[in-house]
Amino acid sequence: AKEQGRNNYQFYTAAMNSHASELLMLENELHQALERGEFVVYYQPQINTNTGKIAQMEALLRWQHPEFGLVSPAKFIPLAEENGLIIPIGEWVLRTACTQIKAWQDAGLPPLSVAVNLSARQFQQPNLVEIVARVLQETGLENHFLELEITESVAMQNVDFSRAILQELHNMGVSISMDDFGTGYSSLSYLKKFPLDKLKIDQSFVRELATDPNDGAIIAAIAALGKVLNLTMVAEGVETEEQRDFLRSLECEYMQGYLFSKPLSPQDATELLQNYRSS
Ligand code: C2E
Ligand code: CA
Ligand code: CA
Ligand code: CA
């Protein structure tokens, strides 16, 4: 038993070490990823299910590492958040996404807006508003084509500061969307104080719709809340027709998920938009 205990322990530390060294290695590589041009922004359509048309694209970052392959943002965003690299990386995503959307508009494709994710660290930088304003000016994208997605935990970290920043962005014509709604902590009174345009219902509620009746009730409650606050409702992670139909019955008209499209490379997204125009 002792022997086994020791083996377990060894196994445990080995796994821990390999995890720790994997993280270290990733972090080292992350420092150079931007200048090596290893990042790509993918685009996932958001559908207006009343018209069936694409209303918007969400910009989702991908790291294409020459050896490790495609590294998931779930893995490297927290690292970048911790070491501060998210600041230059986030600005690059913003600039790249605005440039792409403007290029599609200039090519005569149907005008879309773009949603860009903001992490906690980015949101706390004192010059965020100036950075956003500068990127919009330099790329020539009209302000109302940009939406910024924040999460409840980001907004709730410093409520007065958050509200002031969001208000400034909103006054510029930038839309504000609350991402992963329902997973964090936010009181309804705060929700009312933030200048929000959208609530994105977290995909964890959508995923279990068929199996967990509570999730249906939660989504119905969120949709009712969104209606009272006059917010656009978006459901994420919609994979099946059943989920789509249920969400439509709640008048949640905007949806994003594999049922409609996975996040697409810039090339694939361009093709989709071109075919879509000619169809
Ligand atoms: P998120 O903002 O909640 O993005 C939605 C995630 O759900 C994306 O994962 C997307 O690919 C995935 N997804 C979309 N539809 C479906 C579906 O039908 N089924 C399932 N199972 N998944 C679906 P992704 O691209 O791996 O991104 C993960 C997270 O990483 C994002 O969650 C976001 O929090 C973060 N992230 C991605 N790009 C950026 C970025 O540029 N900046 C920041 N700060 N965070 C980012
Ligand atoms: Ca998001
Ligand atoms: Ca989300
Ligand atoms: Ca999420």
Q: Is 60 in the pocket of ligand 1 (CB under 6 A)?
A: yes
Q: What's residue 2's pLDDT?
A: 45
DSSP state of 119: -
Name the residue with the closest Cα to ligand 1, atom 3.
180
Using the mean position of ligand 3's atoms as its centre, give its distance from the Cα of residue 12 in Å: 33
Q: What's residue 1's pLDDT?
A: 43
Distance between CA atoms of residues 145 and 129, nearest Å: 16
pLDDT by residue, tens only, the chain of 279 residues:
444 545 555 555 666 667 788 888 888 899 999 999 999 999 999 999 999 999 999 999 999 999 989 999 999 999 999 999 999 999 999 999 999 999 999 999 999 999 999 999 999 898 999 999 999 999 999 999 999 999 988 888 888 999 999 999 999 999 999 999 988 777 777 788 899 999 999 999 999 887 887 888 889 999 999 999 999 999 999 999 999 999 999 989 999 999 999 999 999 999 999 997 665
Using the mean position of ligand 3's atoms as its centre, give its distance from the Cα of residue 212 in Å: 20
Using the mean position of ligand 2's atoms as its centre, give its distance from the Cα of residue 247 in Å: 19
Question: Could you say which ligand is closest to the alpha carbon of residue 76?
Answer: 1
Structure tokens at 147: 């939406």
C-beta separation of 61 from 122 below 8 A: no
Q: Is 255 in the pocket of ligand 1 (CB under 6 A)?
A: no
C-beta separation of 179 from 149 below 8 A: yes
ipTM above 0.95, yes or no: yes
